[in-house]
Amino acid sequence: MVKKVISVIRLLILVFFLPVPMEAYAISENTILAPAINKGNEVAGNASNILFDANQTNIESITRQLTDYGERRVNKVNSSLAADYIKYIMSQTGLSAFLEEFYFEAHTSKGKAWNATGINVVGIKEGSILRDQIILVTAHYDSIGGPGADDNAAGVASMLETARALQNYSFNRTVYFIAFSGEEEDFLGSRAWISEHKDLAEEIVAVINVDYIAGKNLNIGYLPQYSWLKDVLNKSAEDLKIPVSTGIGSPGGGSDHVPFWEDHIPAVEVIHFGNEIYSHTPEDTIDKLDFSAARDATKILVQSVYYLASTGDGKSPSVNITNPEKNSNTCAFNLTYNVSERNSTIELFLDNSSLGYIKSGQRFTFTKGSHTIKVSATDGIGNTGSDSTAFTCIETYTPATRISSFNVTTDIISEPRKKGDKKTAKYNTNIVRLKYNYTSNNTTIFLDGIGIGGIESEHFFSLNPGMHTFEAYTEKYEGSMYSDNVTFNVEKSLNNSPTLDNPALNEKNEIGTLLTIFAISIAFAMIIIFKKIKKR
């Protein structure tokens, strides 16, 4: 009953009250002339006179409409109405647009579990010769605690304006524009989408996530192993003379780009800093937004997406692991590999965990058992090549650094954080940053007993879920060896069951409210129809 009433209300609003941004199809004073992209890795000047328009009026109009729905928390009526509106705008820009429902367990404030539904909105612009390679542009449309103007109605508007600005261009690669719900509930929507589309994981070239963009101090957040993607956006910003900063992303926070990081998919976040104090409050309103800054962010998106979708040539870098040999028996070696393109971004996987960038020649020592190493290389336009090798260690190798240590535990490792005497910490993501002090030329890091050499502090790992241990051995002074260790647990999510009201527990009041809204909608519809008849 409730779902039927909601469906009718959604239909009435779409028919009678949905604003159509007429500016969306005209070139206005807000139009920009963006540089063209040539066939190489460089952004050329206006050689082919490609016209990209980022319309500030459109961005403001869409942002205003989304905030007019009020709080758009996942599973709520306002969220469903916003989803329909976003789908409508997507279809107007020529995208193949549709809604994707996902299901999750929620619980009431009293702890009773129930099944809830969220909606992701997807718009697809299909590519041509490389249609199986996918570029994602994402933004969450849900909000919590208020209308969410900066967090993240403006981000959705920027994403939709990017789709509109590119609607008349053909691409080699396919582009997905996705508005996620449930970001405020531990990335429910993006996690669900990734889980539902595991078959696409290998095809996703890049993800650009937009969150908080209507303000100054624009920043591109990234992981070092995906620095090539950061460079694409940074180059677009330079060409457009828009100031941006870049920074390593926070492993414990962030937005919908984090679940992609967790699954080893290249992603960056476009975000500004400054309005955080209003986030998740009724004060996150449209009057606090800088739409000129939002337009600048959109310009960067338009050019970057055009570049990524147009320049793919399908020619991946060649990677060759020269040591260890495939199917060999070895427990200690210097890893060596060759890559055909010197400027490629390197990522190394050890037993399916990402160690990030590891240079060729790094010393490894292994524990007993079978192991695999994969080296992946990505060029400046997202083409990726890799090589892998499997080998067996007959007996655990213990290097001299471990033997010579006085085993004096000091505060060498500062992150992952320690918890009490047990030195354990729990993380809601498998993206972990290793930080340590007392660096020297003889510092050696061990991960779960495997020596991975002189990893620098501030290094990022994407580890398999479960318990892990870092050990650090370093020469502190006068040849004295010191060590430290920390054990920690990583999971992809700690908040699988958000607290949400259950309409079924108060069904009479819920239905009564919906029927009241339904009656008001009918009354407005009749007034509009009557006025139209009277004019005739």
The predicted model gives 314-342 an average pLDDT of: 95
Burial class (CB in 10 A: 0-12, 13-18, 19+), 173: buried
pLDDT confidence of residue 34: 41
Tens of pLDDT, residues 52-78: 668 999 999 999 999 999 999 999 999
The predicted model gives 402-406 an average pLDDT of: 62
Type of residue at 428: N
DSSP state of 455: P
Domains of the chain (ranges, CATH numbers): 29-311 (3.40.630.10), 319-393 (2.60.40.10), 400-490 (2.60.40.10)
Question: DSSP string of 350-413?
Answer: ETTEEEE---TT-EEE--SEEEEEEEEEE-TTS-EEEEEEEEEESS----HHHHH----B-S-E
The predicted model gives 250-260 an average pLDDT of: 81
* Rg of the chain taking only CA atoms, in angstroms: 26
Cis peptide before 465 (omega within 30 of 0): no
Q: Which two tokens stand for residue 25?
A: 């199809």
* Mean pLDDT estimate for the chain: 84
pLDDT confidence of residue 182: 94
* Choice between 300 and 439, residue whose per-residue pLDDT is larger: 300
**Whether residue 137 has pLDDT greater than 80:** yes
Tens of pLDDT, residues 78-134: 999 999 999 999 999 999 999 999 999 988 888 888 899 999 999 999 999 999 999
pLDDT confidence of residue 21: 43
pLDDT confidence of residue 20: 43
Residue 117: Cβ within 10 Å count: 15
* Choice between 301 and 278, residue whose per-residue pLDDT is larger: 301
Rounded CA-CA distance 295/175 in Å is: 21
Q: Where does the pLDDT of residue 29 fall: very low under 50, low under 70, confident under 90, or very high at 90 and above?
A: very low
Do residues 377 and 413 lie in contact, with contact meaning Cβ atoms separated by under 8 Å?
A: no
pLDDT confidence of residue 485: 86
Rounded CA-CA distance 383/311 in Å is: 10
pLDDT confidence of residue 494: 53
**Whether residue 517 has pLDDT greater than 50:** yes
- Return the closest-CA partner of residue 442 out of 450, 453, 457, 452: 453
The predicted model gives 231-258 an average pLDDT of: 88
pLDDT confidence of residue 439: 59
Tens of pLDDT, residues 146-160: 999 999 999 999 999
For 312, the enclosing helix (H) or strand (E) is none
